[in-house]
Structure 1
Amino acid sequence: MKLQRLLSFTRKAVDDYEMIQSGDKIAVGISGGKDSLTLLYALHGLMRFYPNRFSLIAITVDLGYPDFHLDAVKQLCQELEVPYYVVKTEIARIVFEKNALENPCSLCAKLRKGALNQKALELGCNKIAYAHHRDDILETMLLSMIFEGRFYAFSPKTYLERTRLTVIRPLMYVAEADVIGFMHKNRLPVVKNPCPVDGATKRQYAKDLLRQINRDNPGAKDRMFTAILSGKIDGWPPHRT
């Protein structure tokens, strides 16, 4: 996927759900994976021409795994002239050693979001951009239906009353296949996920199931995403017409 196509999808999401206003200072959560680095490129490109002027910083929450090297990510942020901050934590030890949970993902996500939010507030940000793409939204919908018995998916924009931060998801219209294409085309400096349960989670199950459904029923993912957009899900903001 070319940058122009990425920017087109990103701007459509930002416009459709009024994600960015003039004067926003947006923290981009950088895990080091393909999705967050693609989001960084997308918002950096959008920042150059979007009528609502905004600024960016990038934040990585270091979970404390050994051999988690961010030098290439730091270099990319320097090239894009985006300030970059790393928050050192011991979340990995807390999740896998201190608590030894059978399903550590929920606690890990909660602690990561807390550390990211705190740093964003310290740096004067009013918004945080997450790199959830279209497939993430579809997978969340499947997980919610299968394990919770409800029709739900990530909201494009969410206001967090406790912190007064707004979470936005500008990649919501971008398919994971396009993210992978953008990663290869632009040789993004992806950092390998050090999590020991990576690839063995319920989300991976949903990803594999979604792939199989679409293989058996071509176009199913498109139709499912249309159902989400028109489903009037609780917490979703109105779509700008």
Structure 2
Amino acid sequence: MNILPPGISMKLRYLKYVGAAVVTLIFGFHFFNTVLYNAPQNVISTVYSFDKVYISGLLAQEWAMFAPEPMDRDTNVLVKCLDTAGGRSTGFHDITSDFNRLRTRNIFVSADRVARVPGNWAYLYIAASRWEQKLHDECKANAKSASCENWKAMKDQREKTSKDGLTLVASYYCRDASRGTHYRYESAEITLKVIDVARWSQRHKANSGETYFVNVGNVKLNQVSGRPIWN
């Protein structure tokens, strides 16, 4: 027996249908984008890219919370301070090794936390995210895909962000170096020394642990303040 007035009963029934329609649309939208995101390269994915923004931007966890992917390389930051007016330089200096030596001498100092700053910026410069790698693979499979432009924009932004961070690190190092040499350094050369860490199962192979260098380039130093980091 319906005890509600006819007008209210019709409104509730109407709201029920509207609610069911909204839930169906949301589920259909989510299902469509999930399937398209995981599907191989196809005609639809070349012109429709919102599935990548929706899944990677909003829902992707990349397992960072539950199963962190271990780094498979060591990255050292090498900086050479340049006095362009006087034609002088410090020569390349491995600032990452400075923190490593300090950490081994005294485990209670904050060198580990400070060392993560240049280390993280350096790793960002050479390590593409899972989403960027997916775009690269799609672009490699189809050079006319819209993924190519998106991949290049993401790669450029990643490298610019990393380079800005490394520039700040170099600015602090060259500021401290100028106190010892009494030279005024306006710019710096930044190079990354990358040492591939062999997997445990491949530790006895001849090519395990290869070393190569990545040139970040010449950067203009920032004006920085604060207490010295390098003595």
In which range does the TM-score fall when normalised by the shorter chain?
under 0.3
TM-score by length of 1: 0.19
Task: Name the one with the larger helix percent.
Answer: 2
TM-score by length of 2: 0.20
Q: With CA pairs under 8 Å and 6+ residues apart, which has the higher RCO, 1 or 2?
A: 1
Greater CA radius of gyration, 1 or 2?
2
